[in-house]
Amino acid sequence: MILHQLIDFETLRVIWWGLLGVLLIGFALTDGFDMGVGALLPFVARTDVERRVAINTIGPVWEGNQVWFILGGGAIFAAWPPLYAVSFSGFYLAMFLVLAALILRPVAFTYRSKRIDPRWREAWDWALFVGGAVPALIFGVAVGNVLQGVPFRLTEDLMPLYEGSFIGLLNPFALLCGLTSVAMLVMHGGAWLSLKASGPVALRARRYGEGAALVAVAGYAFAGVWLAVGIDSFAFAGPVATDGPSNPLLSEVLHGGSWLNAYAERPWIAIAPLLGFAGALLAWAGLRAGREVSTLLASKLAIFGMISSVGLTMFPFILPSTVDPASSLTVWDSSSSHLTLFVMLVATVVFMPLILMYTAWMLGLFAAAIFAVMSAMWLEMQEDDLLFAKSGQTAKGKADDV
């Protein structure tokens, strides 16, 4: 028996569908609070001292959190080549904006502390805001478009042809999903700042986090109702070969009905949206009560529930097509070969635990250090600001921004 046949093709496809979800959720859980802090920066920090306090809470960890984004893109490229081809060709302008915003963040971290000029630093602070808010918005807009279906078709030789436009992606439902995404990550950033920062920054972060949690709950509920009654789902017209060749055109797909049918067929998946609602409400309550650790855990639970509910609702569809439903990409017809998925799984079994251990080690290593640095830096920079205030300047402080 050939080694890769130890696991059948259908099981490997489901495993890699699940691993893709794990990587996306891992990115939202780790880099999500980085984006949330960036989006909150102009509102929770009113002085240069406070901004440096907020920035230093994510300074030691943000680079490591980017690993999940890179792994997610690599998994799409290697395990789901048609998905990579269609999404990157159809969403190329949106992808460019995301990458530009993500690139802007390390540049802002580096150059913010190069000059004492308040206008210089304020400009880079707004760059950090863009680096946090724009990706959060675009990721949510992308999810909204995927749930509705994307205007593309496959030619006979499986070449993707995108027939939409960037403006078409900014439809009302997608914008609602984008707003919900921003609120979700702002809630996460508020929970992080309430735990890692201190003084006025932590207090304002709690207040803005409370509002974001309520907006996330309302947006998630509204999007769910809209999805149930206003957006047609996709379904196979008949039996499908779950271990067949990766050719979407071999299947017949119907566009109609409701995505809620998935909950009638698989009632157990209702746990995902329930976790999303429960986590967000618990985060709101925790922010109000000042329970920092439990609030961050609740925020993570909300993110896990909300994101996983999208994948579970759509399964087995990954990227439906509105102009040619038969071109829709699904778990059963859009993967790499049996051998490729198996080899990648072996590599994942080896390296994924290392990544998880590295992430846990990194967060644990800097957990106490961040608080100690914040306390010392706060006192030192307040003294420096008093000295520099006489000359109309803002203190550079004793520590770098990152």
Span 241-265, average pLDDT = 89
> pLDDT value at position 370?
54
- Contact in structure between 48 and 121 (CB atoms under 8 Å): yes
pLDDT interval class at 149 (50, 70, 90): very high
Residue 45 reports pLDDT greater than 50: yes
> pLDDT value at position 366?
60
User: Residues near 363 by Cβ (< 8 Å), separated by ≥ 6?
Assistant: 61
Quote the mean pLDDT of the chain: 86
Token representation of residue 253: 């797909």
> pLDDT value at position 374?
52
- For 202-227, how does the pLDDT look when each residue is reduced to its tens digit (9 = 90+)? 999 999 999 999 999 999 999 999 99
pTM for the full predicted model: 0.88
User: Residues near 184 by Cβ (< 8 Å), separated by ≥ 6?
Assistant: 32, 136, 212, 216, 220, 280, 302, 303, 306
Q: Could you say which DSSP state residue 399 is in?
A: S
Residue 392 reports pLDDT greater than 50: no
- Contact in structure between 188 and 36 (CB atoms under 8 Å): yes
Cα 68 to Cα 19, 131, 140, 223, 358: the distances in Å are 12, 17, 17, 27, 12
- For 166-203, how does the pLDDT look when each residue is reduced to its tens digit (9 = 90+)? 899 999 999 999 999 999 999 999 999 999 888 899 99
Please report, for the chain, how many H helices and E strands are present, in that order.
13, 6
Residue type, position 72, single letter = G
- For 366-379, how does the pLDDT look when each residue is reduced to its tens digit (9 = 90+)? 655 455 455 545 55
Burial of 71 (0-12, 13-18, 19+ CB in 10 A): buried
